[in-house]
Amino acid sequence: MKKSLIALAALATVSGATMAQVTLSGVMDVGVRYDSAVGTAVSKVSMAAGDSARLIFSANEDLGGGLRAVANAQLRFDPLTGTSQSNNARPLFQGETRVGLTGGFGTILMGRGISALQVPNGGNADPWGVTTVAGSVYAAGFATDYAAGGEGRIDRAIFYTSPNISGLTLSASMSPFKVATATTKSKTHYSLVATYAAGPLVLGLGQEQNRAADTMLEVFGNYDAGVAKIFFGTARVKGGSAAEQLAGGDFKAAASAVNTGTAARQVAADGTINNHTIGATIPMGALSYRVGYSTWNGDGSANAKTDSKLGFGVRYDLSKRTYVYSDLAQQTRKNNTGGTTDQSKNTANTKNNMFDLGIRHAF
């Protein structure tokens, strides 16, 4: 629930204009996590966050005639250390930094934020909304930007969302190429998605290209049957050529819930990842259960094996803003020959059994 940090609506003496309303909201999530397979000298039990802790600053100004100015800045941080997310490896305002206009034409924003396709597919394809150890792997091997914190975000971009027309919403994002070296440049990012939501049904279809020419075509959705809400997603990720991926820059982002065992990139050059996920939430008053299963063929290279993840979870709502949760998950790691430099994940071709127990509060 958002609470006003500043709420001024004073008439200007001469012009009669109103000042913008600024609100502060956010999320705090802390718990205990267990991983059965970790790197050398790394504890199997750790304190961790199931969801990203963040402070969200939102501005909204009525310009008249149905037109409004909007701005959002989302600061991500580690609640266990007080540093910015991922030990300062990501931008301080990892969530977004965007400003724009909204009206009868829809919403146009400019800056850095989640790409058009990444906005709806997580919460619509994954029972956990891409949080906790059990969150489904719904976009294996694909990252929107080859930069720190760029798993689902793009910078220097323009974002558009159409009005809702009989349940149909169209969204797009675009960012021009970056110069990687004196002689190379990256590809232009684009992301397009159509989402239909009416009654108990949500369906989405989208395509995205990142700056390294990796592309993802995805179909996702969910259906609320009352006794359970069913989620599904299927994606096909195509890797750009080796030259295009190198022009996109070194891949420094975290593994987007997938550890392919490669240090440089997620999807193999010219490779194809077929990713499928299915899941459900079962509500029982304040208590709800979650289950999800995902498969993908490693990093999409010719000799890649099929990895999978199975998760179970329970959540108990203490209020509209606070809940406790616990999850169990098992993720196969069949493509980790040579290990990985990320010691928080298993370092061999094996299974990683995971558990978490935490509390989340939104304000």
Torsion sign over Cα 133, 136, 139, 141: positive
Q: Are 55 and 356 in contact (CB under 8 A)?
A: no
φ, ψ of residue 167 in degrees (nearest 5): 95, -10
Res 347: pLDDT: 55
Res 251: pLDDT: 57
Q: Tell me the per-residue pLDDT of 314-355, one tens digit each, with 9 for 90 and over.
A: 999 999 999 999 999 998 878 766 554 444 454 556 788 999
Res 265: pLDDT: 52
Closest CA to 186 of 139, 142, 154: 154
Q: Tell me the per-residue pLDDT of 161-212, one tens digit each, with 9 for 90 and over.
A: 999 999 999 999 999 988 776 677 889 999 999 999 999 999 999 999 998 8
The pTM assigned to this predicted structure is 0.88
CATH class given for the domain over 3-362: mainly beta
Buried-state track 276-297, b at ≥16 Cβ within 10 A, e below 16: bbbbbbeeeeeebebbbebbbb
**Residue 119 DSSP symbol:** H
Res 341: pLDDT: 45
Each of the 363 residues of the chain gets a pLDDT tens digit; together they read 444 444 433 333 334 445 679 999 999 999 999 988 877 778 899 999 899 999 999 999 999 999 999 999 999 999 998 888 877 778 889 899 999 999 999 999 999 999 999 988 888 999 999 899 999 988 888 889 877 778 889 999 999 999 999 999 999 999 998 877 667 788 999 999 999 999 999 999 999 999 889 999 999 999 999 999 999 999 999 999 888 887 776 655 444 444 444 444 578 889 999 999 999 999 999 999 999 999 999 889 898 889 999 999 999 999 999 999 999 999 887 876 655 444 445 455 678 899 999 999 999
Res 6: pLDDT: 41
**E-assigned strands of 37-139?**
45-48, 53-64, 67-77, 96-103, 106-114
Q: Are 347 and 261 in contact (CB under 8 A)?
A: no
Residue ranges covered by each domain of the chain: 3-362
Res 2: pLDDT: 45
**How many alpha carbons fall within 13 Å on the CB side of residue 167?**
9
Calpha distance 226→123 (Å, rounded): 18
Residue 142 identity: F
Calpha distance 345→334 (Å, rounded): 13
Res 160: pLDDT: 98
Res 349: pLDDT: 63
Res 258: pLDDT: 47
